[in-house]
A and B are shown apart, each in its own frame.
Chain A
């Protein structure tokens, strides 16, 4: 008898959920996920269209959009033009955010402790082991640094944040470039691996003398103590909307084939050195053009109306003239059956 009951329940559930059209789904990086979620909420209120975005990681986003299981993918790491062509994808940036190193040093205020890329690389290589080491003391003449061992914390999971951070270390230190390199996940010479921003943040918070790196929006929300870094022009800057925008403004957007754009170590005076854009990927010759068109309309709406939301979450929007450029690219580059997929509304 219970078997019969079970079967009838199963039948009922199956029948009531029988076939319907594909809905609009996107997947990928977790860095911009809060912004996309807020955009989607507001977009739904304004137009009734549901855009479902799930954060499964940049690699997952690239894989799924290539496999055609989602309408758009999101990646913190831009694809090079040849990889884009091979996968038949088009990418464009949507937001800009920054990565902030954080420390646990009793008494330190935000931005008080100064470091350079070179020193940071040596710390993460295990060559500088104490906070009162001469290299650090030299760059912080007015601070009395404690004789604490440095506990290095990094990400255990692959992430765009790691990609940005290691790109910065690679550009600052030839040794790091040779020994470790830059990627979503690297073979860290020393240190503890925390899972997600949360894991890194927790480890740093629990261990005196620890250093780690997390998304700036996360640091701001959780009150972690940030550092100031010396940028390419030689000035010490702190992470924040201004320094991110400065980095974005000085980037050469117009001459980036495939929109491949790295914003790390920008030369502008007030730029924060660890900044990156996050990208959306769609198929260039989509099999479901109506869905891609709806997705693009969503992002056009985000460009036009989503700036306040973006700022509230501590991201910086892509500069307005660049947004115009991108929208025009959509009409030109994304084609299905000989007709452009996207049209202005």
Chain B
């Protein structure tokens, strides 16, 4: 076999393997979605959004859990984006190449890999026990702790991968560092920053354990973040492991809802990113 033939063969095998990998990933997706949609679709309906969670034997929906999740994820992501993007920017722009940055980056990865249940315990010690009560705020803080390292990591990676010419061009026209970062680097890295935010959101939207120790849960509707608050993952957890059919159906419906929400957030993010590229 000539060298060219060998290269072609190797390439063919490689392409096939990549295709198989994608096929496997997609078939797993189908398998899981099949289970999710099959069991969750029945519970979807207007009642899911207008009615609070029922006691066993009654009919109801997941309104209180949905609202609670929105509030806590919203607050949590807000905190995570602010701190995460700023910290990631510091790592990539102001401290790039220094020993401190390397240490901070490393420690960030450690926090990233921390099991969320331990973060929940920590926030419990910080915000629940001393203040004498579970609250939506504590839940949001726990979620922020979990999402921030993801945002920091992706922000730093994306900013570092931007061509140096962008920075140099900005500085060449006399712009200050902050201006260069905000107007040029962040804009250029917009999609990447968005991905970081989306990954963080996807991660915290399904987190259960930390919320058990911080926001406790609430079977009634509650929009007051200073009180215990329901959330979709904790309600799903409680319902899925119960004996009651309505509860189990609601659990699958809630799980489907989270998956669909993440999908919508993804699509919206992409549309926004595309628009900003064109403008």
Query: Contact between B74 and A13 (Cβ–Cβ < 8 Å)?
Result: yes
Q: CB within 8 A of A52: which of B56, B218, B225?
A: B218
| Main DSSP-derived SS at the A contact region | helix
Interface positions, chain A 211-255, Cβ under 8 Å from B, are: 215, 217-218, 221-222
Interface: B242 (CB within 8 A):
yes
When distances are taken between beta carbons in the complex, the residues of chain B under 8 Å from A222 are 243
Q: Give the Cβ gap from B60 to chain A, nearest Cβ, in Å.
A: 9
B224→A17 contact, CB < 8 A: yes
The digit string for A27-64, where 1 denotes a CB below 8 A from any CB of B, is 10000011001101110100000101111100000000
Chain B positions within 8 Å of A70 at CB level: 133-134, 216
Chain A residues with Cβ under 8 A from B245's Cβ?
221
The answer to whether B78 touches A19 (Cβ under 8 A) is no
B66 interfacial by beta-carbon distance below 8 Å = no
Interface residues of B in 46-84 (CB under 8 A from A): 54-58, 71, 74-75, 78, 81-82
Asked whether any CB of chain A lies closer than 8 Å to the CB of B132, the reply is yes
Kindly list chain A residues whose C-beta atoms are within 8 Å of the C-beta of B224.
17, 20
A313 proximal to B (CB < 8 A): yes
Given A67-B129, A69-B132, A198-B240 in contact, is the A56-B220 Cβ separation under 8 Å?
no
CB-CB under 8 A for A41 and B54, given A6-B82, A69-B133:
yes
State the Cβ distance, A165 to closest chain B Cβ, in Å.
17
| B219 interfacial by beta-carbon distance below 8 Å | yes
The chain B residue sitting closest to A56, CB to CB, is B212
Q: Which of A14, A22, A221 contacts B133 (CB 8 A)?
A: A22
The distance in angstroms between the C-alpha atoms of A312 and B217, with both chains bound, is 25
Q: B-facing mask of A67-109, CB < 8 A → 1, else 0?
A: 1111000000000000000000000000000000000000000
- A54 and B217 in contact (CB under 8 A), knowing A25-B134, A41-B55? yes
A side interface size, CB within 8 A: 46
Answer yes or no: B227 CB below 8 A from chain A CBs. Answer: yes
Complexed CA–CA distance, A221 and B227 (Å): 33
For B117-137 the 0/1 string (1 means CB < 8 A from A) is 000000000001100111010
Are A69 and B220 touching (Cβ within 8 A)? no
Which B residues are CB-close (under 8 A) to A111? none
Are A55 and B134 in contact (CB-based, < 8 A)? Answer: no
A210 to B212 alpha-carbon distance, docked (Å): 32
CB pair B225 A34 closer than 8 Å: no
For A161, list chain B residues within 8 Å (CB): none
Partner of B129, one of A41, A44, A52, A69: A69
Residues in A whose Cβ lies below 8 Å from that of B81: 6
B56 touches A13 (CB 8 A): no
- Expressed in whole angstroms, the minimum distance between the Cβ of A211 and any Cβ of chain B is 19
CA distance A108 to B238 in the complex (A): 31
Q: Name the distance in Å between A45's Cβ and chain B's nearest Cβ.
A: 11
Q: Which residue of B lies closest to A54 (CB)?
A: B217
Mask of B243-270 contacts with A, CB within 8 angstroms, 1/0: 1110000000000000000000000000
Chain B residues within 8 Å of A, Cβ to Cβ: 54-58, 71, 74-75, 78, 81-82, 128-129, 132-134, 136, 212, 216-220, 222-228, 238, 240-245
Known: A9-B74, A13-B75, A25-B228. 14 other contacts (CB 8 A): A17-B136, A19-B226, A20-B227, A22-B133, A23-B227, A33-B238, A34-B244, A38-B57, A38-B58, A42-B55, A52-B217, A52-B219, A56-B212, A215-B243
Interface residues of A (CB under 8 A from B): 3, 6-7, 9-10, 13-14, 16-20, 22-23, 25, 27, 33-34, 37-38, 40-42, 44, 50, 52-56, 67-70, 195-199, 215, 217-218, 221-222, 312-313
Question: Can you list 13 A-B pairs, Cβ within 8 angstroms, ordered by A?
Answer: A7-B82, A10-B75, A14-B75, A22-B132, A22-B227, A25-B134, A53-B219, A69-B133, A195-B241, A198-B243, A199-B241, A218-B243, A221-B244
